[in-house]
Structure 1
Amino acid sequence: MRRILVPTDFSEEARNAYEVAISIARRTGAAIKLLHVVEAPYYSSNFSATGDTMVGSDSMEQLFMVQLLETTKNQMNELLRTVPHDGVDVVQEVDVDRPINKIKRTIKEDHVDLVVMGSKGSSGLDEFLIGSNTEKVVRSADCPVLTVKHRNPDFDVQEIVLASDFKREISTAMNEFKKFQQLFDARLHLVYINTPGAFESSSNLRQKLQHTADKYGLQNYTINVYNDVLEEDGILHFANDIRADLIMMATHGRTGLSHLLSGSIAEDLVNHTRVPVLTVHLK
């Protein structure tokens, strides 16, 4: 792991994510980019993050953006000053754009290996219609995304839940999951959530999980079949039962109507669990 991206909105959750990223960087020697994106208004084509404007821009709009960028850069400097990052290479960037567009572009251009983001979670109508920026990144990022809600500056992982239906091809995601397990020398708990609507015998499911473990050469793991009404609830309850430090899942990254109709358990977990979640997009 060489490059970690930490998008920040200067919230408490984003600060928590930055602290976790620093802890991971100390383990891996990775560099961190701390990124804040000023949401681009309709006139943003006349403005850049350096404060340069194009001919024809409105003077009041220009003044507002200059002041906003100055405030933002002060907040960034304060974050760098108040969160210790000794021994970790941290660079900062402030830009004017749509946050999801800038984050996706940075992942590609900087060859980012991991995104660490804070998540406040969302619920109700906001979750159904819009979703958070974190959820949008989880759905579309071409690299693993670690979502964090609570403060954990000495981020350590001993017990990992890997939840899946173990039916589709997850080889790309599994390679990333193994890297994270090995980074912390953690125990991996493979779990299949057996629900009434898609019930299978425990013996058949255990065979599937064992086949997965053998296929990918997993080490230090357990095999688990957990019964619950809904998959998401089952993952949360199982993670609570074993006192998991991390949940890992693959996401299909569907958008639009397909996402609203079928949903994504990985993205729902990002909103609802207190446990950090590592997601990998299935390409």
Structure 2
Amino acid sequence: MKKIIVPVDFSEHSEYALKTAAKLAKKYDAEVLALHMLEMSELVLTASEGLQYEKASFFIKLSEKKFETFLNKPYLKDIKITPIIKHFKVFSEVDEVAKKHDANLIIMGSHGTSGIKELLIGSNTERVVRSSEIPVLVVKNKNIDVNFETVVFACDFLEESIKPYINAVKMFDSLNAKIHFVYVNLPNERFQSSLEIERKVVNFFTKAEGNLDKMSDVHYVSDYTVEEGILNFSNKMGADLIAMPTHGKKGLAHFFHGSVGEDVANHATLPVMTFKI
């Protein structure tokens, strides 16, 4: 892990992410890229060319000053911090910055959302989770222990999950973490027998690893929703982190079907790391 991106909006939750990044940076000698997304108002964007330049310069200087103050924290001492200000209108474009700088991880703070507000408005964190091609770590508080010794990786063991699985194993091997895999079996029409699930898991590891060495680390649980199954199992295992693939669904597909990865990231008290399918 060499480069960590932290989107900063000067809120307490973005500071939670910054503190977590600082801990990981110290542990792995990584660089922290603190990214502020400067959103220009419509008034600035529609002003005349000369006036537009003056207003843009004013907001850039104001942000730079505020950014400098925000990054002047004792816990960032002796850490390589690179401040970046981009003139983007939405947080989904964080992924472009990650690709440009060859970053390994994005860390975002989130207070979580629920109900109709979540469906209609969403959050900056959700947008990044949906769009990012690299892992996204979502944290909820300032006292995150980055010694991720026990990780629960939730998986449906479909072939489309092989890529995020491989990326997750690579990430957690580098962190010396123990991974427990969990499959959540649901009632009604989505119920599968133990034999059906095991066949799916065997096929998955055969294609992903070429062996069945990790079969002993797979757990089957039953619950009413995938989200509840993941959260309940993680609490039972005393997990330090929940990891999972996410489809990154958008628009109507996201509205009607949702994304378990986003739901868990929203509602878990544990930190959650997502890997895009």
Instruction: Say if 2:4 and 2:106, in contact at 8 Å, map to a contact too.
Output: yes
Partner of 2:246: 251
- TM-score, length-scaled by structure 2: 0.88
| Bigger helix share | 2
Partner deviation per Cα, 1:146-183 (whole Å, 9 max, x = no partner): 11111235421111111111123223212221122213
- Contact preservation (8 Å) 1:162, 1:189: yes
The alignment yields a C-alpha RMSD, in angstroms, of 2.6
Match of 1:114 among 105, 111, 118: 105
> What is the identity, as a one-letter code, of the residue corresponding to 2:261?
A
Letter in 1 for 2:121: I
**Larger deviation, residues 135-144 vs 146-155:** 146-155
Determine whether 1:270 maps to 2:265: yes
Which has the larger displacement, 82-91 or 208-217?
A: 208-217
* Identity within the alignment, %: 32
Tell me the amino acid that sits aligned with residue 266 of structure 1.
Answer: G
Asked whether the equivalents of residues 37 and 102 of structure 1 are also in contact (C-alpha less than 8 Å), the reply is no
Corresponding residue number in structure 2 for 1:128:
119
The 2-side partners of 1:73 and 1:8 are apart by 12
Partner of 1:229: 224
| Counterpart pick for 1:143 among 120, 127, 134 | 134
What amino acid is aligned across from residue 90 of structure 2 in structure 1?
P
Which of 176, 201, 212 is 1:209 aligned to? 201
Offset of residue 232 of structure 1: 0.7
Q: CA deviation at 1:6?
A: 0.4
Unpaired segments of 5 or more residues in structure 1? 48-52
TM-score when normalising by structure 1: 0.86
Taking the aligned partners of 1:231 and 1:190, their CA distance within structure 2 comes to 14
Q: Per the alignment, in what secondary structure is the counterpart of residue 27 of structure 2?
A: helix
Give CA-to-partner distance per residue, 1:5-63, whole Å, 9 cap, x none: 1001122221111111122223333211101112221134379xxxxx9324498xx39
What code does the residue aligned with 1:30 have? Answer: A
Closer, same or farther in 2 for the Cα pair 1:277/1:175, shift >3 Å? same
Query: C-alpha displacement at 1:2, in angstroms?
Result: 2.4
Where does structure 2 lack aligned partners over 5 or more consecutive residues? none
Deviation string, structure 1 residues 58-107 (Cα, Å, up to 9, x no partner): 98xx39x72x5444333322332214234421111223321325413212
